[in-house]
Amino acid sequence: MEEEVDVLVSEVGPRDGLQSIKRVMPTEVKHRWIKALAAAGLREIEVGSFVSPKLLPQMADAEAVVCEAIKIPRLKVLALVPNLKGAERAIAAGAPKLTLPVSASREHSLKNINMTPEQAIAQVAQLRALCDSLPAGQRPGIEVGISTAFGCTLEGPVSEDWVIEMAVMLANNGADSIGLSDTTGYANPAQVRRLFTRLFAEIGDKAGGAHLHNTRGQGLANVVAALEAGVTTFDASQGGLGGCPYAPGATGNIVTEDLVFLLESMGLRTGVDLDKLIAARSLIAEGLPGEPIYGFVPDAGLPNGFVYAGGRAAA
Amino acid sequence: MEEEVDVLVSEVGPRDGLQSIKRVMPTEVKHRWIKALAAAGLREIEVGSFVSPKLLPQMADAEAVVCEAIKIPRLKVLALVPNLKGAERAIAAGAPKLTLPVSASREHSLKNINMTPEQAIAQVAQLRALCDSLPAGQRPGIEVGISTAFGCTLEGPVSEDWVIEMAVMLANNGADSIGLSDTTGYANPAQVRRLFTRLFAEIGDKAGGAHLHNTRGQGLANVVAALEAGVTTFDASQGGLGGCPYAPGATGNIVTEDLVFLLESMGLRTGVDLDKLIAARSLIAEGLPGEPIYGFVPDAGLPNGFVYAGGRAAA
């Protein structure tokens, strides 16, 4: 994490957000949207997915988007890769950090990436070997997100012991960090606190961030619990775009604007300028006219007399 | 609090919700709505406000609503009273518990009840005397909510020391319980934890509940913080109805449906049956056709395999 930031907000709108919308945002607008998000102070952006363009035409321009995004100074560029083939494409495009979803739910794993959880875990070792075969300085970081870690629309409850067991196997197989994803909006604060506490206890500094959805309105409540467990990285999506096309009923990441407001109002520095962040919403409207976008803070505005570190006035 | 309930959810929709909507819900529908809410398991409902019918015609039937509501077995009926005159009307109607708003913000206090905070605090002593003059067994409980306790749309930040000082004066003046209200949706979890912790330290078992609004999407995040500080009573409004007509920009209490889901999913028993609660939304649609109502859980449904104490299956 960079200096002067207490919590890293990792923007996933250009990947998780856009892949859930059938229409395709023009590549040129993606470039400008990502630049605007970085200019608002976001330090990390997941810019695309190297999945088959046949499955997700919205992500067919992932190479071009990565190539443009890595030119932005001080921005950590993430690319989602569903498998080794995707990883090879992402590495060729110059992605400095790869994120691989591994689902705790067997059914979700099969539907989402056509592999069992065990196969997906084994694949991380192959990805580690692939990255290690690259010249030093060109090796991307490997982040794994355990999806459906808090429950699954297909299978229902997911064993917490199994999630932690998976995290240990993933760490042993060479993942640099392992985060937990509430892909389906099933998580509650008690569960979030419990699972992240166990994750830190088991894999220490390989414990990654929280990827939370707001399907049942519990997203920011879960952030509060995760903060208490020691989580310092949170995924979020501008305008609450996002979801998972293979998890029916699971809609919408937590809203970046509302998350940044939460953190800054608690005195946790994100480095984000809320005014510039809210202004960047216009790029979604430009690239996907008429698409509904969400967020309470953009609607209500900042409180009268609100002072925060990232923006209009220093605390 | 009754047996087998860990957290008391106090429904304020029929008061805070309806007073913020210009149209008037027919009295007969109010009766059926309140009955449906009680039948869903809600133990306490704020059913109306004894404010001048000229100011709030939506509340002109407060007497009739209280008279009907107090017939419901095991329901604690609350009535809001802005002043002594309102209290006399509420007592005559048989309200067993009165709630009086006292604003921490001078400007908000003047606009809302046409008194300074000091005058409002002094009035609590008069209300205490009035109640004590009644025959034993007919004395209503006196609850005070300190409104704008976390900030004010008119004044901006509000002094935390002043809020705690007010709570002590209110306790000394005879209030049975003193809660804190985020009338304007300004609160953050760090502030909520801090202020309620101080409130418990200063006035002990006279510390009351949290009345939170979801104006900036932070409502349930603030609930998590309040729970940690020891709060066991939360106001909420079915469908997120509500706001304050004198606090511009302040819209919507936290949604009862989403709050009950939060608490039950954390293993905290509310006594509420979520299916029956969600079904009660139809009364809002009947009494106020076309009125927008909110809530993530009613839209998304309960998670696959969700088991909880209050409803469909015992944990």
User: What's the angle, vertex CA A91, arms to CA A89 and CA A96, rounded to 5?
Assistant: 140
| Cβ <8 Å between A217 and B185 | no
Minimum Cα–Cα distance from A152: chain B residue: B304
Spatial neighbors of B221 by CB under 8 A, at least 6 apart, are A220, A221, A223, A224, A262, B188, B189
pTM for the full predicted model:
0.95
Go through chain B and tell me how many residues it has. 315
Tell me the pLDDT tens digit for each residue of B248-258: 554 689 999 99
With H, G, I as helix, E, B as strand and everything else as coil, classify residue A15.
helix
What's the CA gap between B24 and A269, in Å, rounded?
Answer: 45
Task: Tell me the per-residue pLDDT of B31-53, one tens digit each, with 9 for 90 and over.
Answer: 999 999 999 999 999 999 999 99
Query: Does residue B121 have a pLDDT over 80?
Result: yes
Q: What pLDDT sits at residue A315? A: 36
Tens digit of pLDDT for each residue in A117-142?
A: 999 999 999 999 999 999 999 999 99
What is the CATH code for B8-300?
3.20.20.70
Q: Do residues A101 and A49 touch, judged by C-beta distance below 8 A?
A: no
Report how far residue A153's alpha carbon sits from residue A248's, in angstroms, rounded to the nearest whole number.
Answer: 7
Give the β-pairing of A141-147 and A8-11.
unpaired
Rounded mean pLDDT, B83-106: 96
- The domains of chain B are located at 8-300
Chain A environment of B225 (Cβ under 8 Å): 224
**Residue B152 at interface with chain A, using a CB cutoff of 8 Å:** yes
Cβ within 8 Å of A, B 190-209: 190-191
Distance CA A102, CA A167 (A): 10
> What Rg, from alpha-carbon coordinates, does chain B have?
18
| Nearest-neighbour CA in chain A from B219: distance (Å) | 8
Q: Tell whether A105 lies on the interface with B, counting CB pairs under 8 A.
A: no
CA gap A175, A180 in Å, rounded: 13
Of residues B155, B262, B304, nearest to A153 (C-beta): B304
Give the separation between CA A182 and CA A207, rounded to whole angstroms: 15
Quick one: tokens of B20? 């913020």
The angle that helices B219-229 and B189-203 make with each other, rounded to 10 degrees, is 30
**How remote is the C-alpha of B217 from its chain's centroid?**
18
**pLDDT tens-place string over residues B273-294:** 999 999 999 999 999 999 888 8
Q: If you ran DSSP here, which 8-state letter would residue B70 be given?
A: T
**Per-residue pLDDT tens for B145-180?**
999 999 999 999 999 999 999 999 999 999 999 999
Q: Residue A258 and residue B186: Cβ atoms within 8 Å?
A: no
CB of B182 less than 8 A from some CB of A: no
- B221 close to B191: Cβ distance less than 8 angstroms: no
The residue of chain A nearest to residue B219, with distances taken between CA atoms, is A221
* DSSP letter, residue B144: E
Sign of CA dihedral B154, B155, B156, B159: negative
Q: Which two structure tokens, joined as six digits, stand for B244?
A: 């304050």
Which residue blocks in chain B are alpha helix, DSSP H? 18-19, 27-39, 62-69, 84-93, 106-113, 117-132, 160-172, 189-203, 219-229, 256-265, 274-279, 281-287, 296-300
List the beta bridge partners of residue B66.
none
